[in-house]
Amino acid sequence: MTGFVLFRFFDIVKPWPVKIVDLKMKGGFGIMLDDVLAGLYALACLHIVLWAVA
């Protein structure tokens, strides 16, 4: 659940590389790459949290 919430947050906010991909790449590939980058941001946040807790 936390991963999904983080993914949606980064997909809506569109931090630095996600926003560039969203603006520069048109079509389906740009949409998919935008989602992949937002997912990687969420993954990185989850790893940082798990590392800090452990």
Q: Is residue 53 over pLDDT 90?
A: yes
Tokens linked to 24:
């520069």
pTM given for the model: 0.86
Q: What is the mean pLDDT of residues 3-29?
A: 91
Nearest to 7 by CA among 45, 33, 50: 45
Distances in Å between the alpha carbon of 29 and those of 19, 25, 26, 32? 14, 7, 7, 5
The reported pLDDT for the residue numbered 21 is 87
pLDDT band (50, 70, 90) for residue 33: very high
The reported pLDDT for the residue numbered 26 is 85
The reported pLDDT for the residue numbered 10 is 95
Q: Are 43 and 49 in contact (CB under 8 A)?
A: no
Q: Is residue 37 over pLDDT 90?
A: yes
Helix (H) or strand (E) holding 11, with range, is: helix 2-13
